[in-house]
Structure 1
């Protein structure tokens, strides 16, 4: 067994190998605090045909036993990956994918299993470190160690790998993956933080990377399996280049995406007819020629395929209120990317119950991103959201949640749905822009508008060009996809993926500055459509109010077996949610139902006031008086001497069961008994 320890601000991170999963090509455990993960790496190294992608699978899974829990549900076992598992898988994938050898196309699988969780230290940082070490230790031809850290900021001071509780107090949340050469991946949801602070946070985090990388080098397998890079037939390459290069170059310059793709597909079909036995080689040669020309145009000629300059944003069109019965709606169109965003308001019962290892909680704000195949003119079965859709939705969600009003001031559940109607790059950032417009159209009092922009990068040797508002072709053939979302004040969402082995700090700084310029321009355009939230909620949104009652009176509102609250709900049609602290949220489809339910609860929880006149109902008659209900479940006695000024011989001569009469509260004695007077109430009311 091999073990290394790395001290991170006085807290040891322990990597072990040779103890678990010994038949896996590579396997390590990583422990931080009492959180432990197992990372494994394996590959099928049989010779492969050339592909234009790496068939890499990354799976992060959490075992509920890690936190001493048994899964819920009928089967009592772990099921499909939850959102947290999918997002962690994506972060690991985006970190390691660009670090494999250029011509490596073997089927590769890495897995991370959470074995123990102390409910304080997140396992995602450990997952990146563990997968890197497992790949280095395995026979897979992977040679570049990579490490990850998370940076927070509490009370103006940067914190490395903050705990879950620390992150709740932090205004910066940045996940950073890096190699010795530079940054590989970024992910974060800062709270309207300026660009300089983001750069400072990244530099702070990078200071912990070298030791994490150097220690991993002890795991490098000196006997890595040799892999034979697939070779493209030279005859095919030469013939395709000679006969189709100019046609491909012309096709790349076509501005319209659909027309460009049709032309390229036409070339592809023609070329394959010449080499029916080498179709895979033909595809790879044509892809390579497209990539070379797309990059050459930008790096050497300063021209993009759609005719824009490097820092130019596509035409933007914003519309709100496009759907008549939704609570809020907007269409945001940028070039050939279009997002239809809708906002729906719900009651607290509509909040999503999240059953995580860290505990159960209610999620008030949800953003769901959908990318149907028709958005790019393709035919595919719709089988629910994939990893990409979940990842894009999560980024847009964290970008918008920072501007929402607090739950105390706005107790609604909020759901945004972004349906991508057409796409030519940057659909997640179109979702941010459309979602912001839809929130304001719904009348939700957000702090300010939020816009997002995707930045790109093309490099050639020492030369590089940063692109603003990348389209699909630039994303596919470029070196970087750097998404930045935020308000005029600062950044609320950030994500960077690359296809090269690292990005230098100076490029990142320049990219952030150019993203800010673009973001402010987009906000200016959005402001022309709507600059602040509408003054009122949609007439179709549920009406809602929150009141506080004495905790001791919760039982009075609920009643025995829930009898009273069910009766209120049945009579008024309202929804009522009662919290343990006495907070009651009432929601209804109209104000009449809302106010009726509110009045019923206030009557139940109200205290009887001495000297106040109430209209009550006779609920019981005795030979010495009548009991009158002045408030729900609060009865008082009208003594026979207090019924009228004149002498009353028999109570039934004046009062009957069910009579509604005015009474004055004369006294509430030490035992809580209420003494009432009808004659005093009548006397005072006659004076009025």
Structure 2
């Protein structure tokens, strides 16, 4: 309890150990009591008795009135709470079953599940913040997946024995989980959601990555997160012309295909994998077999959700008012059409920003947008609801008048934002996308004037860096990646070579570093299996903020950079010569120097150019 001498008000702040469901932890609650409360004498003798000097008799009476009501309610809420009951179900997948269990561990999370395949066990939890974040055009979802060495009965061989930063393959699994789940989340839900997934046990045979995708999909389906459909994931292999769903690691050693896909009972949302030059018909057949397996899992999970799933927080979804779309379209209209016809990316982006400010300014002048920066903030709304009246009626004899109780139930749903500046910006972005799509579908033209099937001009240059073993500059339209190949020799001493910078119509800055050494320069991979793994070829992709003319973070590679690098690496690895014919460790760096669209394909193309150059090196 806190006293405010200036207002003669006593406030109660709910503690973390006692938080009744009708009190929101982020808001103050005014309390009023009657002096006839049975605990008045004890309270007067307590260390809080000095507070009576700050309060009038009238307010002291109100204080004790509501504390009594609060204590009575607390007794009810402190009683035994019903926890989720353990439920388990076996789901057939391929030639075996997976075991799905919920209600055993992690019961304070919104959704929690353990999925077992053989002796591989994945535990996944889903939690969401009580307070919604600022409205934005993306869903506030974060995914973390971690493989603990204890799952395989091992301890890390490094200096630090505790798991810390995620490894590259763990980051890739996080992206596998995120990609199919994000499209199922409903728009307008801004409570930050976190999915945590751990490998608790690993038997070395049953891969945990596809199992983690399924576990995350089940946990979200059981939680309060408002999503549309259940997600599941499977891996498909091809051995001796026979497709196998969720093959073991031993079977994958002989497989010509490694295809991981995820989706719902009616559609595929994500496909990732690589193969050894399979025909398109075989790949489509594998997708169909994977879809059938995903459908079977989703049907079983839907039955589980009906049995023990939590109600979805549909009342927390907050979308911009429909009337706002009409106002934004009327104001931007013809001017937006002209802006979308600007061919160059940077001028078009600046023109759109100016038009957005113009729309916001006009709506503000017309009174449609609040000028208060805190408008729509949940705490601000709560303060507006707390209206202190000095002349309220005194409550006596411990009777609680509902009109005098200032404890206001505050649920997870925030107060609606009506024509806030954030809403205007979100609506303007949606209207812009609508106009751009209409231009492409009806007019057959993109913003740069190309047809839907038109290709931007392509140009490539080789041998730009004199001290690198191979280099190339690949240009498609306004997208420029520069790639350098770094090769580690097994018969020379270690050394370092610095690269140089390039300049053209638009500034291009690149740094290449070549280290010469033996096979020890191969990338060591630390995994759950107690076997050393080395990569003689690896591709590292970089996307600096300068390539889009922005200022941003520089440091460890982002998850996006790791994912794009692995995509290009898998595309190039099958075309490399064998280690006997080419006994070198190969490192490919692909740096995007300009970006005006997707840059992944350009990274692959430029990397192919530099790898092919190695064939024409007489010294190799």
Q: 1: CA distance between counterparts of 2:258 and 2:160?
A: 36
- 8 A Cα contact 1:50 1:231, kept in partner: no
Q: Which one of 515, 522, 540 corresponds to residue 351 of structure 1?
A: 522
What is the CA-CA distance between 1:271 and the residue it aligns to?
Answer: 3.0
Q: How does 1:5-44 map to 2 (within 5 A)?
A: 5-44=90-129
- 8 A Cα contact 1:328 1:438, kept in partner: yes
Q: How does 1:46-85 map to 2 (within 5 A)?
A: 46-85=131-170
Corresponding residue for 1:387?
559
- Does residue 415 (structure 1) correspond to residue 587 (structure 2)? The answer is yes
**Structure 1 residues 403 and 537, CA, compared in 2 at 3 Å: closer, same or farther?**
farther
Q: Secondary structure at the match of 2:526?
A: strand
Q: Secondary structure at the match of 1:429?
A: helix
Summarize deviations over 1:586-618 as a string: whole Å, max 9, x none.
xxxxxxxxxxxxxxxxxxxxxxxxxxxxxxxxx
Q: Which moved more, 1:244-253 or 1:167-176?
A: 244-253
Structure ID, larger Rg: 1
Q: Which one of 103, 112, 120 corresponds to residue 205 of structure 2?
A: 120
Corresponding residue for 1:268?
356
Corresponding residue for 2:276?
191
Q: 1: CA distance between counterparts of 2:329 and 2:312?
A: 35
Corresponding residue for 1:324?
466
- 8 A Cα contact 2:132 2:192, kept in partner: no
Corresponding residue for 2:482?
340
Summarize deviations over 1:521-558 as a string: whole Å, max 9, x none.
xxxxxxxxxxxx315246xxxxxxxxxxxxxxxxxxxx
Q: 1: CA distance between counterparts of 2:162 and 2:271?
A: 33
Q: 2: CA distance between counterparts of 1:396 and 1:15?
A: 35
**Structure 1 residues 219 and 142, CA, compared in 2 at 3 Å: closer, same or farther?**
farther
Corresponding residue for 1:310?
452
Q: 1: CA distance between counterparts of 2:216 and 2:544?
A: 32
What is the CA-CA distance between 1:236 and the residue it aligns to?
Answer: 5.0
For this pair of structures, how many residues does the alignment match? 448
**Structure 1 residues 322 and 31, CA, compared in 2 at 3 Å: closer, same or farther?**
same
Summarize deviations over 1:307-361 as a string: whole Å, max 9, x none.
2222222111011111111000011111111110111110301101111112321
Q: 2: CA distance between counterparts of 1:253 and 1:167?
A: 50
- Does residue 232 (structure 1) correspond to residue 320 (structure 2)? The answer is yes
What is the CA-CA distance between 1:79 and the residue it aligns to?
Answer: 1.2
- 8 A Cα contact 2:223 2:310, kept in partner: no
Q: 2: CA distance between counterparts of 1:537 and 1:260?
A: 48
Q: Which one of 382, 406, 417 corresponds to residue 578 of structure 2?
A: 406
Corresponding residue for 2:331?
243
Summarize deviations over 1:628-650 as a string: whole Å, max 9, x none.
xxxxxxxxxxxxxxxxxxxxxxx
Corresponding residue for 1:287?
429
What is the CA-CA distance between 1:47 and the residue it aligns to?
Answer: 4.6
Corresponding residue for 2:256?
171
- 8 A Cα contact 1:369 1:418, kept in partner: yes
**Structure 1 residues 225 and 72, CA, compared in 2 at 3 Å: closer, same or farther?**
same
- 8 A Cα contact 1:4 1:16, kept in partner: yes
- 8 A Cα contact 2:93 2:297, kept in partner: no
**Structure 1 residues 73 and 50, CA, compared in 2 at 3 Å: closer, same or farther?**
same
Give the TM-score taking structure 1 as reference length.
0.63
Q: 2: CA distance between counterparts of 1:101 and 1:45?
A: 17
Q: Secondary structure at the match of 1:14?
A: strand
Q: Which one of 129, 141, 148 corresponds to residue 233 of structure 2?
A: 148
**Structure 1 residues 184 and 231, CA, compared in 2 at 3 Å: closer, same or farther?**
closer
Corresponding residue for 1:95?
180
Q: 2: CA distance between counterparts of 1:64 and 1:222?
A: 33
- 8 A Cα contact 2:184 2:229, kept in partner: yes
Summarize deviations over 1:483-532 as a string: whole Å, max 9, x none.
xxxxxxxxxxxxxxxxxxxxxxxxxxxxxxxxxxxxxxxxxxxxxxxxxx
Q: 2: CA distance between counterparts of 1:339 and 1:134?
A: 40
Q: 1: CA distance between counterparts of 2:158 and 2:132?
A: 44
Corresponding residue for 1:638?
none
Corresponding residue for 2:386?
none
What is the CA-CA distance between 1:406 and the residue it aligns to?
Answer: 0.9
Give the TM-score taking structure 2 as reference length.
0.70
Q: Secondary structure at the match of 2:244?
A: strand
- Does residue 534 (structure 1) correspond to residue 616 (structure 2)? The answer is yes
Summarize deviations over 1:191-236 as a string: whole Å, max 9, x none.
2222222111111211212210011013322523333322425665
- 8 A Cα contact 2:243 2:286, kept in partner: yes
Q: Which runs of 5+ in 2 are unaligned?
A: 1-85, 365-370, 373-419, 489-517
**Bigger relative CO (Cα 8 Å, ≥ 6 apart):** 2
What is the CA-CA distance between 1:416 and the residue it aligns to?
Answer: 0.2
Q: 2: CA distance between counterparts of 1:20 and 1:420?
A: 45
Corresponding residue for 1:298?
440
What is the CA-CA distance between 1:279 and the residue it aligns to?
Answer: 2.5
- Does residue 207 (structure 1) correspond to residue 378 (structure 2)? The answer is no
Q: How does 1:390-469 map to 2 (within 5 A)?
A: 390-441=562-613, 443=614
Q: Secondary structure at the match of 1:224?
A: coil
Give RMSD over aligned pairs: 1.7
